[in-house]
């Protein structure tokens, strides 16, 4: 009698550190942490770099260049992931990231360092989108909120210790090690992910989606505009206004072609999810850049004390991410985004009250903690919604749209905030209040639109 083989279903992992997911979780979180650390550490090291390499003239492009190539890489990575799966973008992303760091860390002229930064930014963009697609393909849906909470924590922790660690490295080892030390961790991290990547199926698509070449062209325009916006935001006077104006026109022309149809009118579903990510990023960053300056100049706080207020917000962000990953799934998918944006609105408005000298500084601390809590509730939930609203062949494109909105909205508000603070006789109570009120209004707009993340009362998957 012939033997029969009985197929048994492999049970889905019940936790992020289940045997099938353990290595992938550790490797993915490590890569996110490295991207975050490098983004924060470079800001600490760059003044020393510019002085040692006599490169102050290229200071702005050293930041704007990688930002621009990152925008381009996000679009390319989304197209690539949807056509061939996330393995190629992941490996190429790590390779470009590491090569860029090595070029920057061994540079003997500012021009060479800028080249390294540009290459590094391209790798970061490829990686960030590929990791989202890996989550969609490798993790069961019930674990998405928890893995995105882990990603959020991987960004928050470097924001707490990154600048201090980078400062110590610069002082005791030299600025080059801010770049050269990271590859030693990046390569083992991606090797941890490699076995899980091999088990992922290839995308059903066998060729690039229609319009892919056009999207890359629009991405080049958006990238150039983003770089110009970043550089213009670091200038002063008429030069800044001209550069920012040209950049804004470029973004208004190019960016809508890279975001979901209906984005500008907040159409239900994915367009609103992407829009909320941009509004939240703009609100939080617009307030964050003002708070240390306001507390230092208006309330006479030492720089360290003013910076600790931002640390409180980062810790609250981590708490919010942890909470959203462990509470039961809300009855409405709009609940967490609405709650998060509501917290950001209340928090930034409360921080604005701290301009008044008769109120204690603790008002700003409490307000920024509320804003951080809101970001923690919001960001992972929007990432989860993006995957839920994406058909398998659209996860890359939609993940890249989500991160593009984040980056482009933040860059825009930073440039405009710099222009406001530089206007007239310089920063003062009126300019601080204006930027904080605008931040609160952006978050309030998002809270009012949050109900539109659902389609017909429920989240609808793409297809």
Per-residue pLDDT tens over the stretch 6-62? 444 445 666 787 878 888 888 888 888 888 888 777 777 877 888 888 877 777 778
**CB-based contact 258:404 (threshold 8 Å):** yes
| Angle, alpha carbons 283-285-291 (nearest 5°) | 100
Residue 284 and residue 423 in one domain: yes
Compare 419 and 242 and report the one with higher pLDDT: 242
Lowest mean pLDDT among 372-376, 382-386, 406-410: 406-410
Q: For position 63, which CATH number holds? A: 1.20.1250.20
463 band by pLDDT with thresholds 50, 70 and 90: very low
Comparing C-alpha atoms, which of 81, 181, 162 is closest to residue 126?
Answer: 81
Q: How far apart are CA 400 and CA 391, in angstroms?
A: 14
**CB-based contact 92:126 (threshold 8 Å):** yes
Q: How far apart are CA 434 and CA 290, in angstroms?
A: 10
Q: How far apart are CA 450 and CA 269, in angstroms?
A: 10
Assess if residue 5 is contained within a domain. Answer: no
Comparing C-alpha atoms, which of 391, 373, 374, 385 is closest to residue 275?
Answer: 385
Residue 51 and residue 187 in one domain: yes
DSSP SS3 for 335 = helix
For every residue of 364-430, DSSP letters joined together read: HHHHHHHHHHHHHHHHHHHHHHHHHT--GGGHHHHHHHHHHHHHHHHHHHHHHHHHHHHSTTS--HH
Residue 266 and residue 219 in one domain: no
Residue 196 and residue 217 in one domain: no
Residue 286 and residue 316 in one domain: yes
Assess if residue 44 is contained within a domain. Answer: yes
Q: Which two tokens stand for residue 350?
A: 């409360």
**CB-based contact 126:190 (threshold 8 Å):** no
Assess if residue 304 is contained within a domain. Answer: yes
Residue 203 and residue 215 in one domain: no
Lowest mean pLDDT among 9-18, 31-40, 68-77, 338-347: 9-18
Assess if residue 355 is contained within a domain. Answer: yes
pLDDT for 460: 47
pLDDT for 8: 43
| Angle, alpha carbons 275-332-258 (nearest 5°) | 20
Average pLDDT score over residue span 379-398: 88
Q: What's the number of domains the chain is made of?
A: 3
Residue with tokens 């609203």: 389
| Helices H / strands E in the chain, number of each | 16, 0
110, pLDDT greater than 50? yes
Average pLDDT score over residue span 329-337: 83
Compare 237 and 255 and report the one with higher pLDDT: 255
How many whole angstroms from its chain centre is CA 360? Answer: 32
Query: Residue 87 is part of which domain span?
Result: 21-142+163-208
Residue 345 and residue 437 in one domain: yes
């Amino acid at each position: 009698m012939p033997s029969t083989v009985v197929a048994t279903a492999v049970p889905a992992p019940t936790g992020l550190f289940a045997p099938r997911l353990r290595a992938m979780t550790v490797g993915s979180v490590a890569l996110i942490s490295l991207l975050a650390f490098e983004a924060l550490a470079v800001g600490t090291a760059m003044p020393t770099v510019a002085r040692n390499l006599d490169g102050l003239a290229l200071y702005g492009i050293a930041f704007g260049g990688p930002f621009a190539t990152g925008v381009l890489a996000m679009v390319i990575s989304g197209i690539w992931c949807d056509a061939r799966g996330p393995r190629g973008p992941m490996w190429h992303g790590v390779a470009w990231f590491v090569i860029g760091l090595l070029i920057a860390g061994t540079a003997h002229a500012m021009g060479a360092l800028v080249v390294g930064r540009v290459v590094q930014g391209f790798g970061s963009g490829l990686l960030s989108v590929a990791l989202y697609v890996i989550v969609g393909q490798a993790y069961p849906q019930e674990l998405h909120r928890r893995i995105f909470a882990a990603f959020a924590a991987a960004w928050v922790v470097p924001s707490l210790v990154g600048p201090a660690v980078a400062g110590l490295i610069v002082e005791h080892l030299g600025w080059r090690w801010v770049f050269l030390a990271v590859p030693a961790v990046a390569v083992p991290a991606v090797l941890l992910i490699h076995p899980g990547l091999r088990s992922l199926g290839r995308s059903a698509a066998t060729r690039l989606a229609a319009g892919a070449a056009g999207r890359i062209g629009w991405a080049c325009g958006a990238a150039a505009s983003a770089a110009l916006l970043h550089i213009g935001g670091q200038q002063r006077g008429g030069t800044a206004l001209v550069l920012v104006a040209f950049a804004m026109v470029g973004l208004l022309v190019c960016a809508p072609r890279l975001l979901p149809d209906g984005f500008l009118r907040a159409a239900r579903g994915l367009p609103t999810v992407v829009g909320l990510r941009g509004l939240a990023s703009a609100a939080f960053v617009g307030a964050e850049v003002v708070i240390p300056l306001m507390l230092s100049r208006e309330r006479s706080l030492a720089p360290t004390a003013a910076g600790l207020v931002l640390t409180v917000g980062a810790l609250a962000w981590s708490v919010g991410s942890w909470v959203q990953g462990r509470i039961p799934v809300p009855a409405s998918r709009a609940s967490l985004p609405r709650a998060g944006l509501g917290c950001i609105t209340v928090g930034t408005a409360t921080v604005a009250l701290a301009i008044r000298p008769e109120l204690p500084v603790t008002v700003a601390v409490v307000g920024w903690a509320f804003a951080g809590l809101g970001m923690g509730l919001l960001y992972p939930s929007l990432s989860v919604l993006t995957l839920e609203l994406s058909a398998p062949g659209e996860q890359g494109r939609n993940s890249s749209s989500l991160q593009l909105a984040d980056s482009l909205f933040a860059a825009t508000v930073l440039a405009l905030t710099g222009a406001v603070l530089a206007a007239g006789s310089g920063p003062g109570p009126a300019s601080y209040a204006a930027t904080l009120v605008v931040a609160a209004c952006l978050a309030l707009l998002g809270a009012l639109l949050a109900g539109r993340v659902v389609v017909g009362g429920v989240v609808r998957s793409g297809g």
